[in-house]
Amino acid sequence: MIDKEDCVKIGEIGKTHGLQGAVVVYTDNDLLEEYRDEPVFILLEGAPVPFYIAEDGLTVRNHSSYIVKFDYVDTKEQADRLVGQALLLDKELLDEEDIPFELSDMEGYTVLDTRLDERGEVLHVDNYSGNVVFVISLLGKEILLPYSENYILEILPEEQFIRVYIPEDIFDLY
């Protein structure tokens, strides 16, 4: 039996796919492919439950998502129970440098907008079907900023700091 503290989040189950129990997993790493033969864990009623990916049950959907079919999850109703859950992997499988940095870890980071030279804070990180968006509090506004190299200029995890460029068009929407 494994504890939640012994696991690391590698993705999130976003929605079901089809009627045979497949799900769409959103992730920003390739650990699901690398460790496809190892069990992944999903928290059910607070406890990590192991799931194995079925043979030929992993399909790359795009750069940040997969279609995954787990053994013994054979109906849409069974897959519905998994939607919204984090996908976890045993930490012992990974070297320290391989443990993924989750974008959600950036909640609370200080943000510097280079255009306005103003500081704010990351309130939340949302994932809309594979499109990551930062919710940033800046000058009394909550701004949705897409996770893109056009807007996110630098991330310094050690300092919990992000340097961004928020175009006037985006800022004026709020």
User: What's the CATH code of the domain at 166?
Assistant: 2.30.30
The pair of structure tokens assigned to 1 is 């039996």
The pair of structure tokens assigned to 170 is 């985006």
Alpha carbons 147 and 150: distance in angstroms, whole number = 8
For residues 122 and 102, the answer to whether their CB atoms sit within 8 Å is: no
Q: Does the pLDDT of residue 157 top 90, yes or no?
A: no
Q: Which domain holds residue 60?
A: 4-95
Judgement on whether residues 67 and 23 belong to the same structural domain of the protein: yes
Instruction: Give me the CATH number covering residue 62.
Output: 2.40.30.60
For residues 160 and 108, the answer to whether their CB atoms sit within 8 Å is: yes
Judgement on whether residues 133 and 88 belong to the same structural domain of the protein: no
Q: Could you give the number of structural domains in the chain? A: 2
From 64, 95, 126, the end of a domain falls on: 95
pLDDT band at 64 (very low <50, low <70, confident <90, very high): confident
Judgement on whether residues 87 and 111 belong to the same structural domain of the protein: no
pLDDT band at 105 (very low <50, low <70, confident <90, very high): confident
Judgement on whether residues 18 and 61 belong to the same structural domain of the protein: yes
Q: Give the residue among 149, 150, 154, 155 at the shortest CA–CA distance from 167.
A: 150
Judgement on whether residues 29 and 52 belong to the same structural domain of the protein: yes
From 70, 95, 120, the end of a domain falls on: 95
Judgement on whether residues 87 and 160 belong to the same structural domain of the protein: no
Judgement on whether residues 82 and 30 belong to the same structural domain of the protein: yes
Alpha carbons 60 and 54: distance in angstroms, whole number = 14
Residue 12 neighbours by CB under 8 Å, 6+ apart: 25, 26, 27, 84, 85, 86, 87, 127
Judgement on whether residues 79 and 161 belong to the same structural domain of the protein: no
Where b means 16+ CB within 10 Å and e means fewer, 58-90 reads: beeeeebbbebbbeebeeeeebeebeebbbbbb
| Burial class of residue 162 in the structure, from the number of CB atoms within 10 Å of its CB (0-12 exposed, 13-18 middle, 19+ buried) | buried
Judgement on whether residues 40 and 79 belong to the same structural domain of the protein: yes
From 75, 95, 115, the end of a domain falls on: 95
Q: Per residue in 2-48, pLDDT tens?
A: 888 888 889 899 999 999 999 999 988 888 999 999 999 998 888 89
What is residue 38's predicted lDDT score, i.e. its pLDDT? Answer: 95
Judgement on whether residues 110 and 166 belong to the same structural domain of the protein: yes
What is residue 130's predicted lDDT score, i.e. its pLDDT? Answer: 66
Alpha carbons 150 and 115: distance in angstroms, whole number = 13
Beta strand 53-62 pairing with 22-26: unpaired
Judgement on whether residues 91 and 108 belong to the same structural domain of the protein: no
Residue 14 neighbours by CB under 8 Å, 6+ apart: 23, 24, 25, 26, 65, 83, 84, 127, 129, 130
Judgement on whether residues 144 and 164 belong to the same structural domain of the protein: yes
